[in-house]
Structure 1
Amino acid sequence: MAIESLDPPAPDPTSIAPLPRISLQAFCESAELAATINEAADDRRMEKTHVKVNMGGAHAAVEAYRTSPTPNVIVLETNASRAELLGHLEALAEYCDAGTKVVVVGRHNDIPLYRELMARAVSEYLVQPIDVLDFISALSSLYNQDVAAPLGRIIAVTGCKGGVGASCVSHNLAWSIARDLDSATVIVDLDLPFGTTGLDFNQDPPQGIAEAVFSPDRLDGNLLDRLLSKCSDKLSILAAPATIERAYDLPETAFDPLLEILRGSTPHIILDVPHVWTAWSRRLLSTADETVIVASPELASLRNVKSLLDNLRGARRNDPAPRIVLNGVGMPRRPEISSADFAKAIEAEPSVVVPFDAKLFGAAANNGQMIAEVEEGARIAAIFQDLARLATGRAAIKRERKGLFDPLLAVFKG
């Protein structure tokens, strides 16, 4: 098939698979590319990659590998002519170890050169200028293009303070993804001592998350299937022990093996992250494909949301900003910060605003049901559908607001 352009579409940050544990050495001619690669090395998708940036371009690479082994990936920036570049590649080929991938970064959108480089087993040719995500996406495709199953999308939901309803939001979000979007979904309850997933779904599941975390050497796909509790054909939960018989002091990477297995088998993974600030909770919120922060319209929530946004924006520079859910708005007799003032203060618009409805939420909680199960046509159920579409990367449905007298007008029109 003919190549019409070397300009790829802008990569979707949530669709870029993490790189494996590899070594990469770059030989740059410009400070701009060196800075881009150094910034990419700090990205969550390259945390396993050992990166070293050198200056001097292709000539420096040839000299470097005369006496030392080559890494898994060599990145060469060049402003040289075609003949000079091909000469450098021929010289480099004499010293390259088997399996080393070479990525060339040039200045010209030159299709004949691209074809010639591919014929010489160059792995990729990128055209300057490239940004961080372009670079990471190109490297990721070298190692993940042959993966049969797509990676699952991890959506981490947390509350900015206790009592704002983050677990309720995460559970209804997962239920809506499974039912309304017809996508296999797993809820992972990370509140090990006090998790409510089993209660909210009226289930008596095994203590799945505890066995998965405390026996990582035994964890595989088969064990995980046994630990999951099915709520429906499309929705499963990995429940917390919900006991305080032991202390749950977990290392930063405690959940990494579990999430790696889930990514390979489940399209959507919802993490119900408790309101704690530990190394592992910070890691999960920073590395998830989507992060959702649930808040209530009052001062403590506003302060905490702003702190979380400032921290996570720094940790997720190449990812979407965390989504904000303003929950429990309109509670009678409670002084509240308006949605507009809340958004202005945190410099971010809430993705959805969930109104207060004590009767509906109370019935759902006491019956072990989701909002749409209690009242199918409820406005709040439609709000959770919109959040599900936003969090999974699908466009939200534009809904017309109904006026107070619309039902009466419909009678007269009839």
Structure 2
Amino acid sequence: MDNVQARPAPTWAAYVCTDQGAEVAHAVLSGLGFDEGALRGGGLSGAARLSDGPPIAEVLLTEIGNTPVETACDYVAEIRRSGARVVALGHQSDLSTYRALRRAGAWEYFAFPVTPGEIAALRAEPPVAANTAAPAPAPCPTLGVLGVSGGSGASMLARNLAFHAASTGGPGLRTALIDADLQFGTQALDLDCPETPGLLEALSAPDRIDATFLSATMGTLAEGLTLYSHQPGASRDIATMEAALPRIIGPMREAHEALVLDLPRGATLRHPALAAELDALILVVPAGYAGVNAATRLIQRLRAEAPGLRLLPVLSDLRRDAGLHPRDLSRAIGEDFVAHLPRCDAAATRALRNARALVDCQPRGAYARAVRDLFTLGAAPEKPRRAPRGLFRRKAA
């Protein structure tokens, strides 16, 4: 038994931005046996800037300071991608802040005033505790994106969801983007890449689809991201090819870790089997009267023909419309909106002119945050509930 060595304790470092934070962090680090070199300035944002490589330490005690909560969540996610665990300190004592930071990947969040002992007590908790709130993605999540009316931004959303899914800074999944609009689909055009006639081959003979076939017929957009997008000539039988769309999804699932389909309204309604292949259908709704009318009719039809389908309505402000209040829109369509796509004219124009995804051009913008949250929601339909800790444990004592 004397030869059995104890597992080394995790290394800690602290990044603070106020005297109060420095005092607490110094006491925590001293109590854990670390010297003053582990205490640094810069707060949470400073720690995030230094986390683009290997983890600085196994556990980073960080102070939010005046950073907005949404930005703080982005910083937490950046640090988590390096492999370090994040403990956050701040003055916000509301439940929404606590939940947002935990969803972003924080091991724990403590609101001032907090004692060093409460923070140091985390050392005794299992490392997986911070990750239990994050649901595991379903095997090859298959997400459809459908605009309830033209110009709502559905194709742009589908494109950005696919780029996010494949991103090494995100889920890093082997992803396929399928432009299912065989008449007017523009994914290849918007990304300035060659069309993929192999899509027609796949639809003509779905039984031929395997990893080798897909590798030879799909276009490559980025590492881990491939595309099917093609507009057949007028002589092709579009109706027959549309009817084959549901049959290609199963074989493509076997060769990928995520699928994103840019769906046209007509084909989706004509072929209920297509919706049945999806894990979730994202409905992009503009804030106008026409959008409300179309969304209501689509939802009623989809509920009747695909009752098991999970619908995720998303409010889009990408174009100026009637500007109806989200609460009124939600009441009118009978569904709650799960996300909001904000206006981002300059960034969207820049992305389109450069044939790039908006999440790559402006990864910290509000639109990119909405895309990340939406993919997480669509890929993980069931979220296990977990009792809050940290912020409220003192109130229960």
TM superposition score normalised by structure 1: 0.54
- Correspondent of 1:365 among 347, 352, 362: 352
Cross-structure match for 2:161: 173
Q: Does 1:284 align with 2:271?
A: no
Cross-structure match for 2:186: 196
Give the aligned length.
244
The structure that is helix-richer by fraction is 2
Q: Does 1:152 align with 2:140?
A: yes
- Correspondent of 2:198 among 203, 208, 212: 208
- Correspondent of 2:229 among 218, 222, 239: 239
1:7-31 CA distance string (max 9 Å, x none): xxxxxxxxxxxxxxxxxxxxxxxxx
SS of the aligned residue for 2:178 comes to strand
C-alpha separation in 2, matches of 1:317 and 1:246: 33
Asked if the contact 2:219/2:226 (under 8 Å) is kept, the reply is yes
Q: Does 1:384 align with 2:371?
A: yes
Q: Which amino acid aligns with 2:147?
A: G
Where in structure 2 are the equivalents of 1:14-413 lying within 5 Å?
A: 151-179=139-167, 180-216=170-206, 218-241=208-231, 243-244=233-234, 246-250=236-240, 253-277=243-267, 280-320=270-310, 322-328=311-317, 331=320, 334-393=321-380
Q: 1:328 to 1:279 in 2, by over 3 A?
A: closer
Root-mean-square deviation (Å): 2.5
C-alpha separation in 2, matches of 1:281 and 1:325: 23
C-alpha separation in 2, matches of 1:340 and 1:210: 43
State the shift of 1:319 in Å.
4.1
Asked if the contact 2:342/2:366 (under 8 Å) is kept, the reply is no
Q: 1:221 to 1:330 in 2, by over 3 A?
A: closer
Where structure 1 has 5 or more consecutive residues not aligned to the other structure, the ranges are 1-149, 397-414
SS of the aligned residue for 2:284 comes to strand
Q: 1:391 to 1:330 in 2, by over 3 A?
A: same
State the shift of 1:170 in Å.
0.7
C-alpha separation in 1, matches of 2:228 and 2:307: 30
Cross-structure match for 2:127: none
State the shift of 1:233 in Å.
2.0
C-alpha separation in 2, matches of 1:317 and 1:394: 16
State the shift of 1:221 in Å.
3.3
SS of the aligned residue for 2:240 comes to coil
Cross-structure match for 2:68: none
Asked if the contact 1:327/1:353 (under 8 Å) is kept, the reply is yes
SS of the aligned residue for 1:167 comes to helix
Q: Which amino acid aligns with 2:182?
A: L
Q: Quote the sequence identity (%).
A: 23
State the shift of 1:302 in Å.
0.6
State the shift of 1:251 in Å.
6.2
State the shift of 1:217 in Å.
5.5
C-alpha separation in 1, matches of 2:159 and 2:181: 13
Q: Which amino acid aligns with 2:159?
A: H
Q: 1:281 to 1:296 in 2, by over 3 A?
A: farther
Q: Which amino acid aligns with 1:201?
A: L
Asked if the contact 1:209/1:241 (under 8 Å) is kept, the reply is no
Asked if the contact 1:172/1:371 (under 8 Å) is kept, the reply is yes
Higher gyration radius (CA): 1
State the shift of 1:280 in Å.
5.0
Q: 1:251 to 1:175 in 2, by over 3 A?
A: closer
TM superposition score normalised by structure 2: 0.56
Q: 1:265 to 1:219 in 2, by over 3 A?
A: closer
SS of the aligned residue for 1:373 comes to helix
Asked if the contact 1:325/1:352 (under 8 Å) is kept, the reply is yes
